[in-house]
Amino acid sequence: MVSDSCLETTLNLPSLDLSKPLQPSSLSSLSEACHQWGFFNIVNHGISRDLFANIKSFSNQLFDLPSEAKLKLGPSSCIKTYTPHFIASPYFESFRVCGPDFHSSAQDSIEVVFNDTTNRHEFGEMLEEYGKKMTELAKEITKIALTILGDGFDTRFYDIDFNNCHGYFRINRYSPPTNLEDKTSTEGLGMHTDMSCITIVYQDEIGGLQVKSKKDEGRWMDIVPSEGTLVVNIGDLLQAWSNDKLVSSEHRVVLTKPVNRLSVAFFWCFEDEKVISAPDEVVGDEDVRLYDPFVCLDYLKFRESNEEGKFEKVGFTVKDFVTHNTKNCLQKSIS
């Protein structure tokens, strides 16, 4: 049972219509949503229903394989694109495809687990199409997020700081416990923030994604799935780069129905070697820089090496990283 005394309620996020020019009124509702939730919706994003249906069909074929087959891609294999059950949670398993060459990343995994060469080819093409389309979307949305910070900030900062971003996606399948009905709900993925600049999430019709309010004593709110809608959430890297002007969302997945759930999360990230430092204009005259410049990879390593749950996402945030760094510096200067 999910332990939370707070009332759970449905959240009405603003929807950004990507087929229309950005209006000042949508910008202000996006800005508000980013501050309170770190989440907003996008519609008319140009990704077809068929593509989602094909991804679902592929995912079911992959996740329905026997564990021995899937583990050929698991953490002890050389490919490491499959996260089995009992790492993030007993009910969660995940498959990762990395850009920029989504085709070869997908193909390397597919060849290990599927024998049929026709299917392999189709799967590879489809996952590549998804990766490429998401990459274009992520660029567009990052520019919109920069516009929220200030007029013209997209043209001023995109090329300097975001031009070398890269993306990867995870297809997640949640299989609830068989006794779910006795418990009413259980956690499928624990509370976390994403280690990305932005994340674009597709969740199927089952629902279960929740975000923690930054007000209302941290109440959990349901992000209800809607056909044709994708959700965008701000990740820790953009939070640090924007000096907390855009804040990453604390979210989780709860399972309330006795059926499998599927989601696809596309993570748009800075390059590993990038030194993340909020520009003066973003910090502004009245604020202080909240994060000393840090190397992106150091933060990713900090998250990966956290023992709790042994899954890179569950647990700590960029705030904990800063505290940890400060403590280390203090210890070094004392000793």
312 binding Fe ion? (CB under 5 A): no
**Residue 262 touches which of Fe ion, ligand AKG, none (Cβ within 5-8 Å per kind):** none
User: Amino acid letter at 238?
Assistant: L
Position with the least CB separation from ligand AKG: 263
Cis peptide before 100 (omega within 30 of 0): yes
212 binding ligand AKG? (CB under 6 A): no
Tokens coding 261? 């759930």
**Residue 93 touches which of ligand AKG, Fe ion, none (Cβ within 5-8 Å per kind):** none
| CA 54 centroid distance within chain | 21
Instruction: Indicate the residue among 194 and 312 with the shorter CB distance to Fe ion.
Output: 194
- Choose one: 14-22, 201-209, 239-247, 297-305; the region binding ligand AKG (CB under 6 A): 201-209
User: Amino acid letter at 198?
Assistant: I
Binding mask 176-195 for ligand AKG (x = CB under 6 A): -------------x----x-
- Choose one: 96-104, 112-120, 135-143, 193-201; the region binding Fe ion (CB under 5 A): 193-201
Pairing, β 39-43 against β 15-17: parallel
Taking the complex as a whole, the smallest distance from the CB of residue 194 to Fe ion amounts, in Å, to: 4
DSSP string, 78-123: SS--EE-TTSS-TTEEEEEEESSSHHHHHHHHHHHH---HHHHHHH
236 binding Fe ion? (CB under 5 A): no
194 binding Fe ion? (CB under 5 A): yes
Rounded alpha-carbon distances, angstroms, from residue 86 to 44, 54, 304 = 36, 27, 16
Which of 31, 109, 135, 203 contacts ligand AKG by CB under 6 A? 203
187 binding Fe ion? (CB under 5 A): no
Instruction: Indicate the residue among 253 and 278 with the shorter CB distance to ligand AKG.
Output: 253
Handedness of CA 83, 86, 88, 90 (dihedral sign): positive
Instruction: Indicate the residue among 128 and 250 with the shorter CB distance to Fe ion.
Output: 250
Question: Which stretch of DSSP H or E encloses residue 167?
Answer: strand 166-174
DSSP assignment letter at 242? T
Applying CB under 5 A, the residues found at the interface with Fe ion are 194
